[in-house]
A and B are shown apart, each in its own frame.
Chain A
Amino acid sequence: MKRNTILIIILLLWSLSPFLWQVYTSFSTTTSILKPFSFIEHKWTLQNYIKVIESNPPFWRYLLNSAIVGSTSTILTLFLAIPASYAISKSNNHQRKITKIFLFLTSLFPYVLLFLSLLEMARKLNIGNNLLALSIPYSALSLPLAILLLSSAFQDLPNDIEEAARIEGLGLVQRMKWILFPLIAPATASTAIIIFLFSWNEYPIALTWISKSEMITLPVAIARIAGSSVFSVPYGAYAAATVLGAVPLMIIVLLFQKQIISGLTQGAIKG
C-alpha cells in the first residue's frame, strides 16, 4: 500500500509538474523568470495575463473559435455517424467485419500527411478561412472512430425492443427518436466528447485552412503567440497563454472524465 502511494504521487507529479511550471512562470515577473529558483522582490505579477488578454484579437476569441469548430464538427460527425453506425449494426456479419476493418485502418492513418491535398481542396472549393468549413475535414477524420464506437453501441442493444416498436408501427425516424437515440445516449456523449477534444486540439489542418488572425483556433494561436511577442524572451506571456488555453480543457476533462474514459475504453474493446 505504501509503495502504491509513492507511485501515485510520482504519477501525479509527472502528469502535473510541466503544467504547474507554466503556471509558476506565468505569474512571475520578467526578472524572476530568469532566476526561477531564487528569492527576489517583486516576484509575482499579473502583467503576463494582462498582456495576453489585451492582445488583438483578444484571447477569448481563439477559445470561441475552437469552441465553434469543436461543436460544429461534433454535430456534423454525429449527424453522419449515427445513421451509418445503425446501418452497420444491421448489416450481416461479413459486411460488418469488412467495413469495420476499413474504418479501423483509416482511423490509424497519420492524418498530417493529408494537409497538402486538403489545402488544394480548400483553395479549389474556396472554403479557406471558414470555421464552419473546417468541420468538414474534422468530421471526416473523426468519422471512422465515431462509427466504430457507435456501431458497437447499436449492436449491444437488444433487438426485441426495436422489433416491438416496429410492430407498433413506428417508422425508422420515430424509432430513432424515441427508442434508439435515448438508448445509445451514453455512447453518443462519450463519442461527442472525444470528437470535440480532437477538433479543439487539431493543428496542421487548422494551420493551413485558416489564415485570418481573428479566425484561428486555439492551437494555432498558441503556436503563433509563441513567436509574436516583441523581442526580449517573452516566456511570461507564452506561459500565461498556455495556462489560459489549457484551463478550459482541464475543466472539460475533469467534468467529463467518465465519458472520455468510457469512450476510449469502448473504442479499444469493440474496435
Chain B
Amino acid sequence: MNILLLLPALILIFIVFVIPIVRYYWLSIHASSVMTGLIPVPNNGSNWLRILSDDRFWQDLFQTLRFTFTSVTIEILLAIVIALLLNQKFQGRGIIRAISLLPWALPTTIMALGWRWIFNTPYGPIEQIFTLLGIGTINILSNPHLAWIATVIADVWKTTPFIMIILLAGLQTIPSDLYEAFKLEGGTEIQSFFKITFPLLQPYLIISILFRIAQAFGVFDLIQVMTGGGPANSTESLGLYAYINSMRFLDFGYSATIIFLTFIILIGFCILGWLLISQSKRFLSSEI
C-alpha cells in the first residue's frame, strides 16, 4: 500500500527527469535539423564529432565553469558573513532577514533586466557615477573581458540570500554554551569561528555548495535577459548555447548533444566535488 502512495509522485518525477535524458542521448546520434525537415535521421555520431571541434562549446564550458566557481565562491563567503551577522540578536532582526531575502524571491528575469539597466552605458547609475568622478566610462556590458563579471555580480546579489538562510539554519543548531565554554578557556572570537562554527556548519556548507554549483552550471535566465550571451559570446553559458541551437538554429540533434554532454560533465564535477569533500572531511577530522 505504501508504494501506491509513493508511485504517482515517482512516475511524474521519472517522466520529467529521466525520460528527457534518454531522449537526449537518442537525439544526439541523429541529425534533426532544418536540413532534414526536422525529422530525426541517424547520422553516425557526426554530432559528437562536431562538438569535439566546436570552439564555441568549449568556450562556453569554460565560461560556465568560470561563472559557476566565481559566483559560488563569492556567494558562500558573503553568505557566511551575513549569516553570522543576522544570527546575532538585535532589534528588527526579522524584518531585516526578510528584506535581505527579497533578491532571492524576485523572478530572475525582473532583476536581470534591472541589472542590465544599472550597468547600461552611458545612462546607468554606475557609468554615471564613474563619469561624475572623472574616471570615464568602463562600458562593462560591452567589454568581453568584463561583461561576465557583471553577470556574476547580479547572480551574487540574487542567490547569496538563499545560501545565507541555509547557513543561518546551521548556525541556529549550534548550542551557545559551546561558545561560552570556549570563551572561558580563553579562546578568541576568530578562533571560535574556526574551531566551533566552521566544523559544525560544514554539512550546511556542503549542501549549499552542491546545490549552487549545479544550479549555476545551468545558468540561463540571467544571461539571456542581461546580455543575451554577448558581447562576443563572452557571457554565453552552455544552457543558453543549447537553447540557441534548438530555438534559433533549429538543430535539435546538435542541441541534444550539447545538453547530454553538459549533463555528463556536470555529473563528473559532482563526483569530483564529492570526492574532494569526503577527502577534506577525513583530513579535517584527523586534524581535530
A interface, CB within 8 angstroms of B: 4, 7-8, 11-12, 14-16, 18-19, 21-22, 25, 33-34, 36-37, 80-81, 83-84, 86-88, 90-91, 99, 103, 106-121, 136-137, 139-141, 143-144, 147, 197, 200-201, 203-204, 208, 218-220, 222-223, 226, 233, 235, 238-239, 242, 245-246, 249-250, 252-254, 257-258, 260-261, 264-269, 271
Contacts and interface: CB of A to CB of B under 8 A. Distances in A.
Interface stretch (B16-24, B142-150, B175-183, B190-198): B16-24
Interface in B69-115: 82, 85, 88, 90, 94-103, 105-111, 113-115
A203 B108 contact: yes
A250 B110 CA distance: 13
Contact of B108 (A11, A111, A201): A201
Given A34-B123, A87-B6, A203 B221 contact: yes
Contacts of B98: 253-254, 257
B2 interface: yes
Interface stretch (B49-57, B158-166, B276-284): B158-166
Q: Which 7 A-B pairs have the closest CB atoms?
A: A110-B218, A117-B20, A265-B169, A140-B16, A257-B98, A83-B5, A87-B5
Contacts of A235: 117, 120, 123
Nearest to A238: B113
Given A37-B128, A268-B166, A87 B3 contact: yes
B152 interface: no
B12 A136 contact: yes
Interface string B230-260: 0000000001001100110000100110010
A140 B15 contact: yes
A108 B211 contact: yes
Interface of B: 2-6, 8-10, 12-13, 15-17, 19-20, 23-24, 27, 82, 85, 88, 90, 94-103, 105-111, 113-118, 120, 123, 125, 128-129, 132, 157, 161-162, 165-166, 168-170, 172-173, 204, 207-208, 210-211, 214-215, 217-221, 224-225, 239, 242-243, 246-247, 252, 255-256, 259, 262-263, 266, 270
Contacts of B221: 203-204, 219
Contacts of B8: 80, 83-84
Nearest to A139: B12
Contacts of A246: 106, 110
A252 to B, nearest CB: 7
A268 B169 contact: yes
Nearest to A106: B17
B28 to A, nearest CB: 11
A271 to B, nearest CB: 7
A84 B5 contact: yes
Contacts of B172: 265
